[in-house]
Structure 1
Amino acid sequence: MSKLEDLLARNGALLADGATGTNLFDMGLVSGDAPELWNTDEPDKIRALHQSFVDAGSDIILTNTFGCNRHRLKLHNAQGRVKELNIAAVKLAREAVDTADREVLVGGSIGPTGELFQPLGALSYEEGVAAFRDQIEALVEGGADILWVETMSAVEEMKAAAEAAKGFDLPLVITASFDTAGKTMMGLAPKGLGDLQTQFACTPVAIGSNCGVGASDLLAAIMDITEAYPEAIVVAKANCGIPQIRGDEVVYTGTPDLMARYAHMALDAGARIIGGCCGTSPVHLAAMRQALDSHQAGSRPELADIISEIGPLVSPPNREADAARAESANGSARRRGRRRG
């Protein structure tokens, strides 16, 4: 049993951390700069962010390595620093968790390459696997407890990350962002992520959703996953309410009270690892910690309950379009069947 599974077995549910990027902007990060470079340029600020999450009650904190692969780093002429920056990031996270008075795990954050895979783009599957493997080797060497693949959209990229994780003795977590009419940008539905579990070269210990367009939309995605796969360990890591553009700033509308209610509903929806993504501060996390500690199991929520408690869906599923596509596919199958006959 991995450290993640053991801690889940003992605690029942775990609190993950909050936002990296939006909190670093409050610390002085400038839009367009790479947060990962702060692992060596501003280590005290990264360490302080991790410490604030630990102090707020997080059981899992993620390293500042979301874009720390060769393809993302080449945008900042740092593609040769994959190993250095990932190892530095894990060590900063470990400094925060190793002084805690309880067990806190370090998840090595692995985001998308930023490239389109063939045939839509130029990146081959093999090149994707190699890029993820470089990053994973460094995260493992640095001392990560979990390989945490997040904000994924394309099936091929998830499979490449899972293949790169194969052979390392660490639990794998994969979360996707269902931000386009209830699906990922590349068309994967929440249930489809569950269906993929047996197709990954390295079977994830947990699956789920992060980021997206709002807490309500994320909860709806979680409901679809847990309905189809009730035995799965599911992660819910929602943005802090709904993002709104005000001038040249993106402001997240979620209050600590709203995020506490979101945490309660995520638990009742079947999620076992709850956290926050963009806009989620240590103050929000402290309210979520209290929600997890005081939670009394309720009935599984309905979508109407989520909308009433958390807010409207920002990008609701297009059920009519899905039904039309399904009917078209069925019609094509029937026609193919007649031709074969």
Structure 2
Amino acid sequence: MPTNALSRLLETRDWLLADGATGTNLFNMGLQSGDAPEFWNVDHPDRIRKLYSDAVEAGSDLFLTNSFGGNASRLALHDGQSRVGELNRAAAELGREVADAAGRDVVVAGSVGPTGEIMAPMGSLTHEIAVEMFHEQAEALKEGGVDVLWVETISAPEEFKAAAEAFAKADMPWCGTMSFDTAGRTMMGLTSADMVKMVGKLPNPPLAFGANCGVGASDLLRTVLGFAAAGPEVPMIAKGNAGIPKYVDGHIHYDGTPELMGDYAVLARDCGATIIGGCCGTTPEHLRSMRKALETRPRGERPTLDQIAAALGGFSSTVDGTEEGGADTPSPRRGGRRRRG
């Protein structure tokens, strides 16, 4: 694989700031619940340029394209399955335009989300069809000019492997994150240690791997500590939600302040993450706080779970699934959402 924009940055920097939420920020611009955000790549390109530009202006070194639900299976819910190429190319072209105008090195990462279907043998989605779907999306993002492909919010190891195979077919570098939202495991039961083992065995390993979304920032950092304990050979990604979702006046609001996300960013770095960003609820204001914290606060010792809980709030479960005896039940006071937003 030739040297690429992300590899170059990883060689020269000890941390990189990724972007924040896609859905949260688009809802703030008027996207309605149930609408396909990917249609906005064509219908409202100025709003997508603003989404990307806001992240870059807040200090992001890398941002994800508005293509999370851009595979044929997800777009079929909106009768858009024939528009995979068009919508993903548009997402990437707008990103390329913003990154090239940034005046510094900014990586455009082509977001690839889950298919929304259950993989065989439990479900009807075969490995071959999943690879084909991911490959179609990957080729369109590549054609549009992304620097790297980025699969995220995955819960099934089979789906992660299918995406990896599709990205190899597209001859593109890639990164991948899973969502550990069920007592420290993915919805399909994978632990942080399991993910490190899986990534280590892939024929075409990612440039970086990690966790995104899930429950809150505390849980996500516990997962990162689990990755670190397993001794991975590639850089780690932390992309946690801005606090916990709460319903306020009929809308979902994340309770994480910019100050809390600044603390989270520094703790993520100290846990061992190299690429640090936010997921649901993370706005440009949060990103500015994260950038400032990473630039001004010295690197510290690897934090303990108690230190993480004291800074960011308690965990949603007492264990993360990697201990003897497995995972326990999530606490009823904390809940997670399985989507990127």
What is the TM-score with the length of structure 2 in the denominator? 0.92
Q: Relative to structure 2, which stretch is displaced further, 57-66 or 288-297?
A: 288-297
Q: Deviations over 1:48-92 (max 9, x none)?
A: 110010000000010000000000000000000000000000011
C-alpha contact 2:185 2:320 (8 A) present in aligned 1: no
Number of paired residues? 325
Q: Distance in 2 between matches of 1:271 and 1:141?
A: 30
Q: Work out whether residues 18 and 281 of structure 1, in 8 Å CA contact, stay in contact via their aligned partners in 2.
A: yes
TM-superposed deviation, 1:169: 3.9
Larger Rg: 1
Name the SS of the counterpart of 1:166 in structure 2: helix
Question: 1:256, 1:296 → 2: CA distance?
Answer: 19
Counterpart of 1:32?
34
- Compute the displacement of 1:244 (Å): 1.5
Query: Counterpart of 2:296?
Result: 294
- Report Cα offsets for 1:88-134 as digits up to 9, x if no partner: 00011111111112100100000000000111111111100000000
Partner of 1:179: 181
**1:140 to 2:156 alignment:** no
- For 1:331, the equivalent position in structure 2 comes to none
> SS at 1:272's partner residue?
strand
- Quick one: distance in 1 between partners of 2:4 and 2:94? 22
Partner of 1:330: none
**Aligned partner letter, 1:17:** D
* Contact in 2 for aligned 1:240/1:254 (Cα 8 Å): yes
Structure 2: tracts of 5 or more residues without a match: 328-341
Rounded Cα–Cα distance in structure 2 between residues aligned with 1:272 and 1:86: 27
Instruction: Please state how far the C-alpha of 1:325 moved relative to its aligned partner.
Output: 6.0
Change (3 A) 1:42 1:260: same
Q: Distance in 2 between matches of 1:88 and 1:173?
A: 21
Query: Secondary structure in 2 aligned to 1:108?
Result: strand
Amino acid paired to 1:20: T
With over 3 angstroms needed to count, the CA separation of the structure-2 counterparts of 1:119 and 1:169, relative to structure 1, is closer
2:107 matched to 1:105? yes
Question: Are the equivalent residues in 2 in contact too, given 1:217–1:316 (CA < 8 A)?
Answer: no
What does the per-residue CA deviation read over 1:17-70, in whole Å, with 9 as the maximum and x for residues that have no partner?
010001100100000000001000111101011001000000001000000000
Q: Which residue of 2 aligns with 1:199?
A: 201
Task: Decide whether the 8 Å contact of 1:172 with 1:202 is kept in 2.
Answer: no
The counterpart of 1:258, out of the listed 245, 257, 260, is 260
Q: What is the Cα deviation at residue 273 of structure 1? A: 0.3
How far the C-alpha of 1:10 sits from its partner, in A, is 1.4
> Does 271-280 or 90-99 show the bigger shift?
90-99
Specify the alignment match of 1:210 in structure 2.
Answer: 212
- Kept in 1: contact 2:246–2:255 (CA 8 A): yes
**Counterpart of 2:334?**
none
Q: Name the CA distance, whole Å, in 1 between partners of 2:171 and 2:158.
A: 23
**Separation (CA, whole Å) in 2 of partners of 1:295 and 1:188:** 33
Question: Shift in Å at residue 230 of structure 1?
Answer: 5.1
Equivalences for residues 1-341 of structure 1 within 5 A: 1-229=3-231, 231-317=233-319, 323-324=324-325
- 4+ residue segments displaced more than 6 Å: none
What is the distance in 1 between the residues matched to 2:252 and 2:323? Answer: 31
Separation of aligned partners in 1, 2:203 and 2:125: 19
AA aligned opposite 1:67: G
Letter in 2 for 1:237: K
Alignment-mate amino acid for residue 173 of structure 1: C
SS in 2 for 1:151: strand
Contact conserved, 1:213 with 1:315, CA < 8 A, in 2?
Answer: no
Looking at structure 2, the residues matched to 161 and 199 of structure 1 have their Cα atoms a distance apart, in angstroms, of 14
Amino acid at match of 2:101: T
Task: Name the counterpart of 2:338.
Answer: none
Residues 260-300 of structure 1: CA distance to partner in whole angstroms, max 9, x if unpaired?
A: 00001001000000000000000000011111211311111
Q: Is the 8 A contact 2:254 2:281 kept in 1?
A: yes
Q: Distance in 2 between matches of 1:130 and 1:168?
A: 11
Q: Is the 8 A contact 1:182 1:316 kept in 2?
A: no
Cα distance in structure 2, aligned partners of 1:205 and 1:162: 11
For structure 1, the residue ranges without an aligned partner over 5 or more in a row are 327-341
8 Å CA contact 2:135–2:170 kept in 1: the answer is no
Q: Deviation per CA, 1:212-232: give whole Å up to 9, x if none.
A: 110000000001001212543
1:302–1:38 Cα change, 3 Å: same
Q: 8 Å contact 1:237–1:275 — kept in the other structure?
A: yes
Q: Give, as a single letter, the amino acid of the residue that structure 1 aligns with 2:174.
A: L
Identity within the alignment, %: 52
Call closer, same or farther: CA 1:74–1:196 in 2, change over 3 Å: same
Q: Supply the distance in 1 between the matched residues of 2:226 and 2:101 (Cα, whole angstroms).
A: 38
| SS of aligned partner of 1:12 | coil
Aligned mates of 2:318, 2:142 — CA distance in 1? 38
